Chains A and B, each alone.
Chain A
């Protein structure tokens, strides 16, 4: 592996660069009609459904829009109104709480499961399939099913299970202190499998030589995991971390379908608030506030990501 480099002293073969051919080809390539035609689908789709709406979002956040008259410019009024809304701070708190719970529950579990699963010698496929199965179930079906599981009466599915081991009925979605936890449990169940598969793939990329070297140094099983496995997974772990944060900051489906933001706004997240501003108020959507809040969220997430990548640049193995 560490043999001295050999120097090839034979004269390098002379290959004349096919200059004339290249120049001819480049003229056909660079920016001709063909290229424009190929770029057309992307330009149309992105132009209409990505770039224009992004710009429009910024513009609308400074306007008041109702559907009858033309939009009027109102400066920073929308931002002020959103910041003055007491429900905003509730939503921010709830979203942070969801993110923290999801990290506590949903970050370590897939890692532990993946490390354990990578050591399985028989029926490895069975483990992967079972782990990934919840991911395959359509999210709406999963939430509606779990909503029934979370029935708070003593004959609800989970309460019956708890009752059979002597634990009292839990209010699940019906109490502000347990509602968010219930949401996180289901969200973790539904998403963990995907993360497990990603970690499993990354684990196969850990060179066995590193383990051998650690064993020569007398490392225990736990030592090998801590000093070899986890550091080698650093890149994937860092990415999954920030992706989870950004994803949970935009959680909508679970609060919307499970509780509609209740009880008493304890599960109202920022996305749910944006949705309510724009689409839920009877007789008139407040599009200005909705776009203002979504912009503020985007800026916060952008700053967060930038700070995160800067901080972790020195840590990342890649």
Chain B
């Protein structure tokens, strides 16, 4: 009976196999590449133009765009199901884990052959490399956390939009003012889908603490550090004493962007380069947008949580697809960072399709290369640069601290309920809750 079943199903499978085959009908190598979902038509057109340019430069390769966005809750399923595009992006936090489990392809050979292979900034390169320096995942963007704020709400509250808060006390005061004068949330914070832990860690860093200490091979969880407690207490004060955080708290990355763009949030902390997606996906009005440097308040240890994006190739890709994939990574993600012509062409197509050029970002290579690139694309920059100076003027001066490297997403997931408690339960016992998380986080770190 099993054989009949297999025969029957095999026929079904043959009839229903969808894309993902390595060669198309005319012998070209087929590579599935990632495209952000929910984009406006202009952005989609810009992407397709790049695809067309690549295909005409590489006639033996056929690219198939597939919608993809990294999401903590669906990534594992996609990885398990083998449904990731051949080229996909993950945040820095996932890089080492994927490499250790060999869940992405080893493209270090092809990457090493790229002309700029040795020029990646050290911290950035570590996120996608093995211990002995072989790069399995290529860093394509780097960012630091920043404080986004709504200039229009600031004005309505009687605050000067060109003078955003520079200390946590000022954040608290401004949030209170916005809540009182406009009725909208003065300050908001992400709390679910692992983003609660992400922002809590950001705040802990800003207050001078760390959530993980590495001692050789052994990792110690320090989520219950006094700095984390202080940071969460500051949030608690805003929520319960000032009532300046509005009434909705179950936010994650997409929904907080959405409410911010809709004018319901005065300030929030997130990755510094958000303007692009705010405009493309959430229809943010440019005149509303402002971004400032995250106030650091913890003395010498305080730093800005740095993160970034890695481009990786699916472990299931056969050799020709891997080679083609690396070429695409080079062409689409990196060439615009390293070569003048590519940078100019990319900026032009992006600007022509009405998308943002010039959102704040941090260098993937060194600062000199970064500055040079900024001059190349200067004429196409279409973001409200003046409104971003409170961040861009300071972003290189702030110490950048990489995210914790072990079980990062899982520890973030453990912190989500703590952040949710702080915001929804007046009597939340912050040290107690953090203690509980610390025990569980340590168990996770010990398992490795």
A residues with CB within 8 A of B: 40, 43-44, 47-48, 66-68, 151-154, 156, 169, 171, 173-176, 259-260, 262-265, 279-285
Contacts and interface: CB of A to CB of B under 8 A. Distances in A.
B410 A281 contact: yes
Contact of B76 (A154, A174, A175, A285): A285
B421 interface: yes
A231 B80 CA distance: 53
21 contacts: A44-B5, A44-B9, A47-B5, A48-B5, A151-B248, A153-B246, A153-B248, A154-B183, A156-B247, A175-B425, A176-B425, A263-B421, A263-B423, A279-B80, A281-B410, A282-B76, A282-B94, A282-B410, A283-B103, A283-B409, A285-B76
Given A153-B264, A264-B420, 4 more contacts: A44-B5, A67-B103, A68-B102, A279-B74
Contacts of B9: 44, 48
A187 to B, nearest CB: 18
B101 A284 contact: yes
B434 to A, nearest CB: 13
A67 B80 contact: yes
A263 B249 contact: yes
Contacts of A44: 4-5, 8-9
B425 A281 contact: no
B100 to A, nearest CB: 9
A43 B264 CA distance: 56
A68 B424 contact: no
A174 B247 contact: yes
Interface in B382-422: 409-410, 413, 416-418, 420-421
B323 to A, nearest CB: 23
Nearest to B252: A260
Contacts of B417: 262-265
Interface of B: 1-2, 4-5, 8-9, 72-77, 79-80, 94, 97-98, 101-103, 183, 191-194, 246-250, 264, 409-410, 413, 416-418, 420-421, 423-425
Contact of A285 (B4, B80, B424): B80
Nearest to B101: A68
A153 B76 contact: no
A280 B1 contact: no
Contacts of A169: 247
Nearest to A147: B250
A262 B102 contact: no
Nearest to B97: A283
Contacts of A259: 250
B193 A260 contact: yes
Contact of B77 (A43, A48, A265, A279): A279
Chain B interface SS verdict (over half)? helix
A158 to B, nearest CB: 12
A40 B4 CA distance: 9
Chain A interface SS verdict (over half)? loop
Contacts of B248: 151-153, 174
A257 to B, nearest CB: 11
Max chain A Cβ within 10 angstroms of own Cβ: one of B75, B183, B250: B250
Nearest to A284: B76
A222 B289 CA distance: 65
Contacts of A154: 183, 247
Nearest to A285: B76
A263 B420 contact: yes
A20 B170 CA distance: 100
B5 A153 contact: no
Nearest to A47: B5
A284 B191 CA distance: 22
Contacts of B101: 66, 68, 283-284
Contacts of A173: 250
A175 B410 CA distance: 24
Nearest to B100: A283
A161 B71 CA distance: 36
Contacts of B103: 67-68, 283
Given A176-B424, A262-B191, A283-B94, A171 B76 contact: no
A19 B244 CA distance: 89
A156 B259 CA distance: 14
- Enumerate the 8 nearest inter-chain pairs by beta-carbon distance, A residue then B residue, closest first: A282-B409, A152-B247, A263-B420, A264-B421, A263-B424, A153-B247, A264-B417, A264-B420
A281 B76 contact: yes
B236 to A, nearest CB: 14
A15 to B, nearest CB: 43
B194 A282 contact: yes
A279 B409 CA distance: 14
Nearest to A41: B8
B250 A262 contact: yes
A94 to B, nearest CB: 13
A175 B249 CA distance: 9
A110 B424 CA distance: 34
Contacts of B74: 279
Nearest to B78: A279
Given A283-B97, A283-B98, A262 B73 contact: no
A278 to B, nearest CB: 8
B426 to A, nearest CB: 10
Contact of A280 (B73, B97, B264): B73
Contacts of A284: 76, 101
A276 B94 CA distance: 18
A154 to B, nearest CB: 7
A173 B192 CA distance: 13
A171 B240 CA distance: 14
Contacts of B192: 260, 262
B143 to A, nearest CB: 19
Contacts of B413: 281-282
Contacts of A263: 191, 249-250, 417, 420-421, 423-425
B57 to A, nearest CB: 35
Contacts of A174: 247-250, 424
A60 to B, nearest CB: 14
A284 B192 CA distance: 19
Contacts of A282: 72, 75-76, 94, 97, 194, 409-410, 413
Contacts of B77: 279, 285
A262 B420 contact: yes
B428 to A, nearest CB: 8
B424 A47 contact: no
A262 B416 contact: yes
A153 B192 CA distance: 19
A280 B76 contact: yes
A263 B73 CA distance: 17
A139 B164 CA distance: 44
A264 B421 CA distance: 5
A31 to B, nearest CB: 14
B412 to A, nearest CB: 9
A264 B424 contact: yes
B299 to A, nearest CB: 31
A236 to B, nearest CB: 39
